[in-house]
């Protein structure tokens, strides 16, 4: 029997294990799939905290529907009946700028009406329809791209907050093509973002915000119990050694070892680099160079009196320079049912990221006090919160900085030189939850393909 060991029980690792197990029939003699997870529980960033009738997502709020691998995984985990879709008002997104909360529509006319841009700024945004496409010139930052196509005002007031919302990242440092490939494709294919959006109207499925009745951690937990593969928690891997055939994996400090024909590293880039350094210093250096700044999440619960103070929608992103340290808020109680006691309000305030990493790692009491004060000021809520939960991620969301695509090409090439080693996870090919699932599933299938060819001809 062959064995594949997946290191990391976040969603990417579990998706890879599930796909490898599902395709195991193709490996002659059978395939044993084992996931090793350092923490007490599976899920990684997908962590759901249940306390006193409140449901707090420490990590992802949900995922956008419409990705095939995600649908297959949810069905495979037996969770189709647990899927919940967000209140339609989740389509209402807000940006705080100029001392006001402004609802931002996803079309140019609505955008102009929102008052987010000055008259001049709005005209400059519409000039996107005539600005010629860029030819050549290498990697471009999100901010430079937005300023070139839509003007500096739209880059600052619209695209930079949007980058905070997705990456908790700095639009001036992130690569457009690696971070928002669809935006780069609109310019490439249509010569203009607005013309591209109009041409694709009705054809582009933006997906619906989706979660599970018991929160996002339901999926990793269901996979771990019903996925058909083995999972071992409290099993931190601290070394891998190359054998004549396959790999030896060292687990924990007790010196236990496990052998495997193939390993899948489904880790954040820093621990992946640590395991690979002695086998490929160049690969490790490239992995290590992918930054992942901290994010602090403060969940605050309020009584019914706060309900009318919060607009009906998904949440608000706060433009820099408005006198707030928080990057934005998510209005969880408006999104999915069952997130808090009846009639109450649950808000999550996000801090840190690439623009203000120090805020995320303030002492927890200080971070909570800052969130309470900023939320009270933003909405004019006088009452003290009746619920509070602080979560701090020292490494939260990978940043696809300028040069990311070239770095990934080098990582892929260097990984091929280590037979039986495969790498997945959100540091490389997409930071969203469905992207981690898709790459995980594809990686699990690639491993089985690689093993089935080697079973026929062990010298390949």
For binding to ligand FAD (CB under 6 A), which residues are involved? 7-13, 36-39, 44-46, 59-63, 236-237, 266-268, 271, 295, 297, 393, 396-397, 425-426, 431-433, 436
CB of 266 to ligand FAD, least distance (A): 5
| Residues 263, 282: Cα–Cα separation, whole Å | 19
CB of 267 to ligand FAD, least distance (A): 5
Name the DSSP class of 184: H
Those residues with Cβ within 8 angstroms of residue 326's Cβ, 6 or more apart along the chain or in another chain = 318, 349, 350, 351, 370, 371, 374, 375
The residue (of 19 and 396) whose beta carbon lies closer to ligand FAD is 396
The residue (of 128 and 401) whose beta carbon lies closer to ligand FAD is 401
Specify the residue for token string 């990934």: 408
Distance of CA 314 to the CA centre of its chain: 17
The residue (of 122 and 263) whose beta carbon lies closer to ligand FAD is 263
CB of 395 to ligand FAD, least distance (A): 8
Residues across the chain: 460
| Residues 130, 98: Cα–Cα separation, whole Å | 29
The residue (of 89 and 198) whose beta carbon lies closer to ligand FAD is 89
Strand runs labelled E in 129-191: none
Cβ(155)–Cβ(162) below 8 Å: no
The residue (of 117 and 287) whose beta carbon lies closer to ligand FAD is 287
| Residues 397, 204: Cα–Cα separation, whole Å | 26
CB of 10 to ligand FAD, least distance (A): 2
CB of 171 to ligand FAD, least distance (A): 18
Tokens of 445: 């299938």
How many Cβ atoms from other residues are within 10 Å of residue 234's Cβ? Answer: 12
CB of 430 to ligand FAD, least distance (A): 8
Question: Phi/psi at 264 (nearest 5 deg)?
Answer: -115, 120
The residue (of 90 and 267) whose beta carbon lies closer to ligand FAD is 267
């Amino acid at each position: 029997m062959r064995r594949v060991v997946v290191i990391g029980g976040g969603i990417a690792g579990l998706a890879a294990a599930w796909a490898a197990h599902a395709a195991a029939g193709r490996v002659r003699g059978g395939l044993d799939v084992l996931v090793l997870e350092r923490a007490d529980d599976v899920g990684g960033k997908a962590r759901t905290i249940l306390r006193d009738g409140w449901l707090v997502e420490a990590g992802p709020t949900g995922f956008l529907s419409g990705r095939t691998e995600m649908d297959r995984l949810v069905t495979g985990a037996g969770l189709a009946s647990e899927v919940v879709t967000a209140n339609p008002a989740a389509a209402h997104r807000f940006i705080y700028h100029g001392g006001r909360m402004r609802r931002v529509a996803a079309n140019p006319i609505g955008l102009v009406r929102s008052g987010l841009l000055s008259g001049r700024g709005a005209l400059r945004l519409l000039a996107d329809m005539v600005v010629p496409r860029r030819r050549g010139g290498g990697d471009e930052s999100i901010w430079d791209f937005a300023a070139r196509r839509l003007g500096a005002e739209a880059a600052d007031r619209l695209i930079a907050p949007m980058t905070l919302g997705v990456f908790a990242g700095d639009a001036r440092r992130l690569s457009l093509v690696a971070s928002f490939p669809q935006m780069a494709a609109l310019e490439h294919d249509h010569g203009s973002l607005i013309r591209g959006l109009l041409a694709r109207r009705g054809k582009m499925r933006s997906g619906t915000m989706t979660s599970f009745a018991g929160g996002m951690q339901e999926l990793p937990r269901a996979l771990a119990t019903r996925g058909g593969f083995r999972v071992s928690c409290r099993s931190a891997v601290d070394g891998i050694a190359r054998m004549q055939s396959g790999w030896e994996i060292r687990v924990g400090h007790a010196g236990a070892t496990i052998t495997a024909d193939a390993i899948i590293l489904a880790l954040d880039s820093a621990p992946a680099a640590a395991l690979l350094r002695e086998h490929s210093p160049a690969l490790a250096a490239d992995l290590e160079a992918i930054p992942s700044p901290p994010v602090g999440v403060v969940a605050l619960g309020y009584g019914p009196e706060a309900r009318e103070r919060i607009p009906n929608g998904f949440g608000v992103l706060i433009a820099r320079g408005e006198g707030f340290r928080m990057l934005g808020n998510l209005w969880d109680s408006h999104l999915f049912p069952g997130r808090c006691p009846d009639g109450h309000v649950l808000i999550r305030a996000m801090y840190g990221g690439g623009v203000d990493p120090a805020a995320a790692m303030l002492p927890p009491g200080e971070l909570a006090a800052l969130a309470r004060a900023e939320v009270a000021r933003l909405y004019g809520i006088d009452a003290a919160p009746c619920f509070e939960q602080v979560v701090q991620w020292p490494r939260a969301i990978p940043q696809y900085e300028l040069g990311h695509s070239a770095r990934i090409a080098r990582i892929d090439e260097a990984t091929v030189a280590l037979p039986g080693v495969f790498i997945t996870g959100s540091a490389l090919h997409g930071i969203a939850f469905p992207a981690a699932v898709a790459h995980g599933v594809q990686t699990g299938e690639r491993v089985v393909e690689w093993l089935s060819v080697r079973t026929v001809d062990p010298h390949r």
